[in-house]
Chain A
Amino acid sequence: MTRDLRRFLLSVAAACAVSLAVPSPGAAIGVDRPLPDPILEARARAIHKQLRCLVCQNQSIDDSNAGLARDLRVLVRERITLGDSDGEVLDFIAGRYGDWVLLKPPLDVRTLVLWLGPAALLLMGAGLAVTVLRRPRADPELASGPLTTEERARLETLLEHGENTS
């Protein structure tokens, strides 16, 4: 094996190992020591679900076996025991690790499009649909009245063959 090829293979293997080993990176499935108070523990778990595991791909620290995720879980429990509110805990962690750690991005200038986008799109789409729907009101055909010849012909065909085409 030439050196180039070997180096290539090694780098590919390394890339695969990194990119493939994501959901359970060989790490242990452990169990944290929960807080003694079940209400506080429930709050801690809810906060865990809002925080990103920084060394994993798109997992919350609640879903991750990575060591860093465990450290963060412990940190969250510590802050809660110290009497922080949920918001204060999230602010504390975001202050340390940046907003990237928050799975629910805060609403500010950077995320304006992200948060307002869906509503804006819905309104634009609805506006477009209404414009389209307004047109036929002027149409005399829809002012009910008797069936057109064409419709009567179709009705006859349908009755004749006992078919339901809807």
Chain B
Amino acid sequence: MIVEVGHYALILALALSIIQGVLPLIGAQLGYDSWVAVARPVAIIQFGFVSISFAALTCAYVGSDFSVLNVAMNSHSAKPLLYKVSGVWGNHEGSLLLWVLILTLFAATVAVFGGNLPPDLRARVLSVQALIGAGFLLFMLLASNPFERLVPAPLEGQGLNPLLQDPGLAFHPPFLYLGYVGFSMAFSFAVAALIEGRVDAAWARWVRPWTLAAWCFLTLGIALGSWWAYYELGWGGFWFWDPVENASLMPWLAGTALLHTALVVEKRDALKSWTILLAILTFSLSLLGTFLVRSGVLTSVHAFATDPARGVFILMFLVLVVGGSLTLFAIRAPGLKSGGLFAPVSREGALILNNLLLTTACATVLLGTLYPLFLDALTGEKVSVGPPYFHATFVPLMAPAIVAAGIGPLLAWKRGDLVGALGRLRAALAVTVAVALATLVFAAEAPVLAVSGVALGTWLVAASLGDFVERIRLFRGPFGETRRRAKHLPRAAYGVTIAHAGAGIAVLGIVVSATWESERLQVVKVGDSVPVGGYEFTFRGIQDARGANYNAVRGIFDVTRGGDPVAVMTPETRVYDTPRQTTTEAAIRPTPTADLYAVIGDPNGAGGWATRLYHKPLVHWIWFGAILMAVGGFVSLSDRRHRVGAPRRRTARVGTRAGTSQAAKA
């Protein structure tokens, strides 16, 4: 019964999404106020229905209702509750439902909190958002219905892939989707603005919080995914340039570019058509990512749907959305007049450089990901594009972006003073040179590339902090003055400092862990000691353990340093009951400067066990840096200027600067 309610709610949501996608759009065009007014309540009710639907499916999972095909295929009664719930989105149909839930949540948020938006713009935004939702709802009801019944119901379910039964991965999809789908808001605003034919500072002010929030969630989602790969796959790697990883990296790169360029539209009324295009591309890449991952074009852990009919549907939807919005862009963009003028060396110029490098990097990832598919389709030739290709192309593009990220925030709008900015970064430069020299002198085997990487990361951290210290005049004047300045510095400025420093910390983590990792692969017997990175790992033996739905073999290692005990590490190999599958659970012990990482493998039949032991210096900085980036984004989001909302269009139309000072006053 509950399942049928969920199914019915989904059908009602589709009907509502069509109403919401059509009426307000026509109403705004023809000036029917009552049609425009439909958008808000319908958006909220639609979210209500999708929530009911989602709750119904969650109910079926929690109650292990195996008469539902989706539950029978992906759940098991012995699964812990957390994974029963996360099982809802651990499959193709359920993940689509989560996608639509978030999509309608964002629409409802605009409907509830978008009081300061002009009614026509709001109506159009909600319509575009609803049309995207209609496509997904139709797809679900026609080809991927999560509520399909199974008669007769089996006694037990097939179980969830054990690799997905993990706290990191339970929350990875929701964060990722909050990011992907969050960019749909930027898209809807962009398309609405194109229909209106007007893009101004006020528009950018409304779009930026959505983009920023989506970007923060996507950053967290990607970080969670890579953290999971790090501890669950048992190889100690955190990024494999796998197509599905690339699928999430592309919208992130484009979204990062969008975040920065929207700033130029907001402050300087320039780069409008480029920003609109970027908003369209970012969401298109999110859709492409969904298509690549869900269609079965790329088979991997993430590819749930292997039915080609589904792939064709998603592809057609993709063509419709991307093609439609780009056509609209081609028609309308020439009419968008850019206002602000600026010199090449200026904040605008730096942000253009940022965009140039980020979008080229994004295009490179796209090229590398799709090239084998296209080459195969066109010529039948098969090539692989793996990590070596991306290292050779992506890294050289990001390096200058990192250098520029340190300087850009110090340049003034319109016309910047590069020499002056570098002068203010003297201390940061000195720190960078000192750290690079210290690395050369003290680190064993320091390849030039690694030293440059360390210098890059250090530079971004030092420059970000240096700029902040300079702004609040720390140690330069009386403390009261510093405190006053720190208090008056907008939150957005704090956000930039935190996020940029976080990026630098992540770079340091990546470079240092990749270069100075120690690795020992060997067969050990009880009592054997293995030295790894200054630590001694002594194998104490094996224990059998029983978890909620798996049997585990647990290896026990005593870790010491110079004779002093540091930790007892217990990596596991798990064999899950259903489906019967083996996973490795690495034991990870973070120390202030490194992660100790141990994996237990198979017995060799003669009393020995295969083991992998690693010492990974600064590897946890990668995720710490990513979290800082997201925190920086959230801090910036909490800026009063975002919270207070956008300036009214009336004042904004007079001129950007007037609009900005209005907001400052508000």
Q: Do chains A and B interact in one complex? A: yes
Convert A45-87 into 0s and 1s, putting 1 for each residue whose CB lies closer than 8 angstroms to a CB of B: 0000110100001111001000000000000000000000000
Inter-chain contact B356/A129, CB cutoff 8 Å: yes
Inter-chain contact A99/B382, CB cutoff 8 Å: yes
Inter-chain contact A20/B161, CB cutoff 8 Å: yes
User: A19-B300, A28-B602 given as contacts; is B488 within 8 A of A105 (CB)?
Assistant: no
The CA-CA distance from A133 to B657 in the complex, in Å, is 21
The CA-CA distance from A34 to B299 in the complex, in Å, is 32
B560 interfacial by beta-carbon distance below 8 Å: no
CB distance from A127 to the nearest CB of B (A): 10
A88 interfacial by beta-carbon distance below 8 Å: no
Inter-chain contact B242/A57, CB cutoff 8 Å: yes
CB distance from A27 to the nearest CB of B (A): 8
Inter-chain contact B657/A118, CB cutoff 8 Å: no
Inter-chain contact A114/B386, CB cutoff 8 Å: no
Inter-chain contact B360/A19, CB cutoff 8 Å: no
CB distance from B651 to the nearest CB of A (A): 13
Inter-chain contact B397/A122, CB cutoff 8 Å: yes
Inter-chain contact B601/A105, CB cutoff 8 Å: no
User: A1-B152, A114-B367, A164-B490 given as contacts; is B392 within 8 A of A157 (CB)?
Assistant: no
Inter-chain contacts of A98 with B (CB < 8 A): 382
Inter-chain contact B387/A103, CB cutoff 8 Å: yes
Inter-chain contacts of A117 with B (CB < 8 A): 363-364, 367
* Segment among B187-195, B218-226, B336-344, B588-596 that sits at the interface with chain A: B336-344
Convert B422-466 into 0s and 1s, putting 1 for each residue whose CB lies closer than 8 angstroms to a CB of A: 000000000000000000000000000000000000000000000
B303 interfacial by beta-carbon distance below 8 Å: yes
Inter-chain contacts of A13 with B (CB < 8 A): 73, 158
Inter-chain contacts of A31 with B (CB < 8 A): 521-523, 601, 610-612
Inter-chain contact A104/B657, CB cutoff 8 Å: no
Convert B550-575 into 0s and 1s, putting 1 for each residue whose CB lies closer than 8 angstroms to a CB of A: 00000000000000000000000100
Inter-chain contacts of B523 with A (CB < 8 A): 31
Most B Cβ at <10 Å: residue of A13, A27, A31, A165: A31
Inter-chain contacts of B579 with A (CB < 8 A): 17
Most B Cβ at <10 Å: residue of A104, A126, A153, A161: A104
The CA-CA distance from A57 to B245 in the complex, in Å, is 13
The CA-CA distance from A162 to B489 in the complex, in Å, is 10
Contact of B581 among A26, A137, A139 (CB under 8 A): A26
CB distance from A43 to the nearest CB of B (A): 15
User: A13-B158, A31-B610 given as contacts; is B488 within 8 A of A164 (CB)?
Assistant: yes
- CB neighbors of B among A121-150 (8 A): 121-122, 125-126, 129, 132-133, 135-137, 139, 141-142, 144, 150
Inter-chain contact A50/B388, CB cutoff 8 Å: yes
Determine the main DSSP class of B at the interface with A.
mixed
Inter-chain contact A29/B387, CB cutoff 8 Å: no
CB distance from A93 to the nearest CB of B (A): 12
- CB neighbors of A among B505-532 (8 A): 521-523
Inter-chain contact A154/B661, CB cutoff 8 Å: yes
- CB neighbors of B among A17-36 (8 A): 17-24, 26-32, 34
| Closest A residue, CB atoms, query B664 | A163
| Closest B residue, CB atoms, query A27 | B582
User: A28-B602, A114-B389, A154-B657 given as contacts; is B237 within 8 A of A125 (CB)?
Assistant: no
Q: Is the interface on chain B under 10, 10 to 19, 20 to 34, or 35 or more residues?
A: 35 or more
Inter-chain contact A104/B415, CB cutoff 8 Å: no
Inter-chain contacts of A165 with B (CB < 8 A): 490, 641, 660-661, 663-664
The CA-CA distance from A98 to B357 in the complex, in Å, is 34
The CA-CA distance from A24 to B612 in the complex, in Å, is 15
Inter-chain contacts of A110 with B (CB < 8 A): 375, 379, 381, 383
The CA-CA distance from A11 to B73 in the complex, in Å, is 12
Contact of B384 among A105, A137, A139, A154 (CB under 8 A): A105
CB distance from B596 to the nearest CB of A (A): 18
CB distance from B60 to the nearest CB of A (A): 18
Inter-chain contact B163/A19, CB cutoff 8 Å: no
A37 interfacial by beta-carbon distance below 8 Å: no
A89 interfacial by beta-carbon distance below 8 Å: no
Residues of A in contact, count (CB < 8 Å): 72
The CA-CA distance from A57 to B389 in the complex, in Å, is 17
CB distance from B199 to the nearest CB of A (A): 16
Contact of B301 among A23, A52, A99, A161 (CB under 8 A): A23
CB distance from B403 to the nearest CB of A (A): 15
CB distance from B620 to the nearest CB of A (A): 21
Inter-chain contacts of B367 with A (CB < 8 A): 113-114, 117-118
Inter-chain contact A114/B300, CB cutoff 8 Å: no
B313 interfacial by beta-carbon distance below 8 Å: no
Inter-chain contacts of B342 with A (CB < 8 A): 133, 136, 142
The CA-CA distance from A150 to B340 in the complex, in Å, is 14
The CA-CA distance from A135 to B348 in the complex, in Å, is 14
Inter-chain contacts of B341 with A (CB < 8 A): 135-136, 139, 141-142
Inter-chain contacts of B661 with A (CB < 8 A): 153-154, 157-158, 165
User: A58-B300, A60-B387, A157-B665 given as contacts; is B163 within 8 A of A121 (CB)?
Assistant: no
Inter-chain contacts of B521 with A (CB < 8 A): 31-32, 34
B243 interfacial by beta-carbon distance below 8 Å: yes
CB distance from B622 to the nearest CB of A (A): 18
A44 interfacial by beta-carbon distance below 8 Å: no
Inter-chain contact A161/B665, CB cutoff 8 Å: yes
Inter-chain contact B368/A63, CB cutoff 8 Å: no
What 7 A-B pairs come out closest when comparing CB atoms?
A103-B386, A29-B601, A104-B388, A136-B341, A28-B602, A100-B382, A31-B610
Given contacts A63-B237, A110-B375, A136-B343, 16 further A-B pairs with CB under 8 A are A16-B73, A17-B579, A19-B301, A28-B602, A29-B584, A30-B604, A31-B601, A31-B610, A49-B387, A58-B242, A63-B240, A99-B382, A103-B385, A118-B364, A157-B664, A158-B661
Residues of A participating in the B interface, judged by any CB pair closer than 8 Å: 1, 5, 9, 12-13, 15-24, 26-32, 34, 49-50, 52, 57-60, 63, 98-105, 110-111, 113-115, 117-118, 121-122, 125-126, 129, 132-133, 135-137, 139, 141-142, 144, 150-151, 153-154, 157-158, 161-166
Residues of B participating in the A interface, judged by any CB pair closer than 8 Å: 73, 150, 152, 158, 161, 163, 233-235, 237, 240-243, 296, 299-301, 303-304, 306, 341-344, 349, 352-353, 356-357, 359-360, 363-364, 367-368, 371, 375, 379, 381-389, 392-393, 397, 412-415, 488-490, 493, 521-523, 573, 579-584, 599-602, 604, 610-612, 641, 655, 657-658, 660-661, 663-665
- Can you identify 27 A-B contacts, CB atoms within 8 angstroms? A9-B73, A15-B306, A16-B158, A17-B579, A19-B303, A22-B301, A27-B582, A29-B573, A30-B602, A31-B523, A31-B610, A103-B386, A110-B375, A110-B379, A121-B363, A121-B364, A122-B356, A126-B356, A129-B356, A136-B341, A136-B342, A142-B341, A142-B415, A154-B661, A157-B665, A164-B488, A164-B493
